[in-house]
Amino acid sequence: MLFLELRDGHVSLDEPSYTPGMLGPVIGPFIAARILRDEVRVTTTEREYPLQRFADWVFYDGKYFSDLEIVASDQMGPGRTRRRRPFVPSLAQLEGVGV
């Protein structure tokens, strides 16, 4: 299984990306995850979902993250395990934008 670790989070796109951001959740599990150009897509056992992108930012749970990493379950460790959250597709979309 795969997880997506979200880091360098900001609450607004107006915040400069060079300012340090917060650690985000480690979401999943996924059977596949891919990052290609402007696209971040994750696949659960049900279907594939896009994550909302804004330039170099990925939106999830009301925050914008400029850094993410695909992590295998054997790379979780205690720090990532504490931040692990189940993936909720509706949290990957701005209000009013369907998946």
Please give the residue that has the higher pLDDT: either 15 or 60.
60
As a whole number of Å, the end-to-end CA separation of the chain is 22
* Mean residue pLDDT across the chain: 88
Q: For strands 84-86 and 26-30, give the pairing.
A: parallel
Please give the residue that has the higher pLDDT: either 76 or 94.
76
- Each residue of 39-61: pLDDT tens digit? 889 999 999 999 988 878 899 99
Q: Give pLDDT, residue 99.
A: 39
- Each residue of 74-85: pLDDT tens digit? 999 999 999 999
Q: Give pLDDT, residue 98.
A: 41
